[in-house]
Structure 1
Amino acid sequence: MKIKGLKITKKGILWCVALTLVFSLALAGTVSALTTGAWFYDTETSNGNSFTAGSLDLKIDGEDTNVVKFEIDNMVPDSGLTKTYVLKNDGTIDGYLDISDIAITSYENGILDPEREAGDVTEDVGELQDRVYFGIFIDNNGDEEYHPSDGDVLICNGKGFEILSSANKIKWSNLNKLMPAGSELNIVVESFWFTASNPPPTPWTQPHLDNLAMGDSFTLDITFELGQTEPL
């Protein structure tokens, strides 16, 4: 076919059809992309999340170092001393308090004549710890006197090595006293050299046995522990 000034061939018509088809497909893809990307949307963030470990910090009388309460020299029968340990959970989480260890180390310090006359034959172990009676309790009102009616709780009692017995160890090692963060607790330790076989009121019919402890000494070590969970 011929039009004046324009030459149309079959090959030219095919090229026009091909270009039209390509343009149509490209336009359809663009419209589709614009259509599918036009939904409403909104975003919110959760930035700056932080994780910090809590703490347990047991203090005795406000200190983190070793605290010595008893320094008794020249102890004699019918004498003693009572001291209060102020324990505080200075951490940020609740904890359970117990006594993880109590240790007594005895010293004979040589055998004096009165000791020998009373029958003392032990060269390495003294007898003073067997004369001194201990009472350990939670003091609810701070009066340093044990009164169950005041909410005081007896932890253990007995003379010297008696507080280390299996029965007493079960008591003090499983105290499991809850101490909320920031709370304080008073634990009283009483010590007294009774001149009786069982304090009080039974009289001691053999007072000369006190001579067995003359010149002797012993040390008492108490380890308090604050744990996140109750001890097993």
Structure 2
Amino acid sequence: MTAGESLLRAILETPADDLPRLVMADWLEEQGDRESVDRARLIRYQIESSASGLNDFRRISIRKSVSQLFRRNRKKWASPMSETDGRNFSWCPVQKIDGSWFGSRMSLNGFWQPYDTPGVQKWERGFVWYISGSLVALILNADRIFSRHPIETIEIDNALSFIRWEPTTSRWAISSSLPPCLLERMSPESMESANLSRLVVAIRGAFVSFARDAAGLPPLPAPAETAAHA
């Protein structure tokens, strides 16, 4: 494992920690080439921008600088879904996962979304931290994406198709059509709720758990409040 790979691994293992990112920025700057120096600047700019108490003038200045860095490097800095064996097109072919067949529309593509605009990905503190797409696309590419990007949250475009209304209990429930690789990571308490959004959050959490495991990463720390309670 090279020095760069070791530094990236530290970021992947603890995505909430800024220190490994700043160490990576120092290492990138030491490489001396323009792309590495630009990436180091991106990391530092976005970490500074995420801090509380930053005045508006500085925040606007950082945003302009970040925009310039993306424009200069957009063809070099790979987006997560430009690394997925061509599965980043408008439609995903039917695929078999855990014995079930799926075929669904994908929103994933290779366009940059450096700020909080709706779409494929969002960058924070120098790296992609959010991606969206159909469940089949995310599962097929989980290890590839999570082994290269410190993803902290995802949006499953078709999550609602795996949730059904149970008239006998007047509650929402996770459908058995959810792939077994995610079902096995959900507790019985998280499978039903009177609150639909809680089940969407539960599916996201199960996927992130699956993806980090597939990439050989430790689980993320549990949130202070769990969405498992009805």
TM-score range, shorter-chain basis?
under 0.3
Structure number with higher strand proportion: 1
* Structure with a larger share of its residues in helix: 2
* Higher RCO (C-alpha 8 Å, min separation 6): 1
Please give the TM-score of this superposition, normalised by the length of structure 1: 0.24
Q: Which protein is bigger by CA-based radius of gyration?
A: 1
TM-score (norm 2): 0.24
